[in-house]
């Protein structure tokens, strides 16, 4: 099994990544309303007294140290949300005990990854006949500094297994344990492309929205469309 220290370290290159987020999950404006951790602590204490839903909106704040939150950047809430709203079922590089910010090298790569997972998830819901899903299309500026480069491994390496995540999760746990900021790896759903699994949002410098994406379900995903705006949304 590959060891984390055998993977090359990437330099401080500034990149654009891409991510699709279901529009049913609203942005957490409190992260975007402050410039630093001190301001956040004060505003959080004030708002929690008047907004009983705030704790659910913010998620599990204990899962991320304040110094890792990139306060002051555009779209801070989008960078932070995967670390406070963790899927307990896990993901490729996480067993569900910590969050991961997944990014793709191209909008089509992000679409291929999300298309696969949406198809797999909704196929398990036999009562679902027709549905429309809308996703925010996020463009993420970030740095690769300190990220480990897994594409040096062959496509057949177990961390790229399309179904079995055990090897990838072992590598992700090792990276998390030593404070590695993330991994770059081959896209499993769009061969020839690659993705990043960031284990901290502190590498992110900006998140902006592009044209939303719509998926239509009718026994399977039958169409994918790019929209000009998410109906009923202004953020």
**pLDDT value of residue 234:** 47
Cβ atoms of 92 and 197 within 8 Å: the answer is yes
**pLDDT value of residue 235:** 47
Across the strands, what pairs with 135?
22, 213
DSSP secondary structure letter of residue 52? T
User: Which of 199, 206, 170, 22 is closest to 99 using CA atoms?
Assistant: 199
Question: 180 Cβ partners below 8 Å, 6+ apart?
Answer: 4, 146, 147, 148, 174, 199
* Regions of the chain with pLDDT less than 70: 46-52, 54-55, 229-235
**Strands (DSSP E) along 4-61, which ranges?**
14-22
Cβ atoms of 7 and 148 within 8 Å: the answer is yes
**pLDDT value of residue 54:** 66
Spatial separation of the C-alpha atoms in residues 110 and 114, rounded to whole Å: 6
Across the strands, what pairs with 85?
none
DSSP secondary structure letter of residue 202? G
């Amino acid at each position: 099994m590959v060891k984390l220290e055998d993977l090359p370290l990437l330099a401080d290159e500034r990149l654009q990544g891409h991510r699709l987020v279901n529009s049913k999950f609203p942005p957490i404006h409190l992260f975007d309303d402050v410039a630093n951790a001190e301001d956040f602590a004060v505003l959080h204490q004030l708002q929690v007294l008047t907004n009983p839903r705030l704790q659910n909106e913010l998620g599990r704040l204990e899962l991320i140290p304040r110094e890792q939150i990139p306060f002051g950047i555009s779209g801070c809430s989008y960078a932070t949300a995967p670390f406070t709203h963790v899927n307990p079922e896990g993901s490729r590089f996480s067993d569900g005990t910590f969050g991961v910010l997944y990014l793709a090298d191209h909008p089509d790569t992000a679409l291929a990854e999300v298309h696969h997972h949406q198809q797999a998830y909704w196929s398990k819901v036999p009562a679902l006949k027709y549905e429309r899903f809308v996703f925010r299309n996020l463009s993420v500026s970030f740095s690769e500094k300190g990220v480990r480069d897994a594409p040096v491994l062959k496509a057949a390496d177990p961390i790229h297994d399309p179904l079995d995540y055990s090897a990838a999760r072992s590598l992700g746990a090792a990276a998390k344990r030593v404070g590695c900021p993330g991994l770059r790896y081959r896209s499993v759903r769009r061969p020839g492309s690659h993705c990043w699994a960031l284990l901290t949002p502190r590498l992110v410098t900006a998140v902006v929205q592009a044209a939303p994406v719509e998926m239509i379900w009718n026994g399977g995903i039958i169409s994918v469309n790019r929209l000009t705006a998410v109906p009923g949304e202004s953020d």
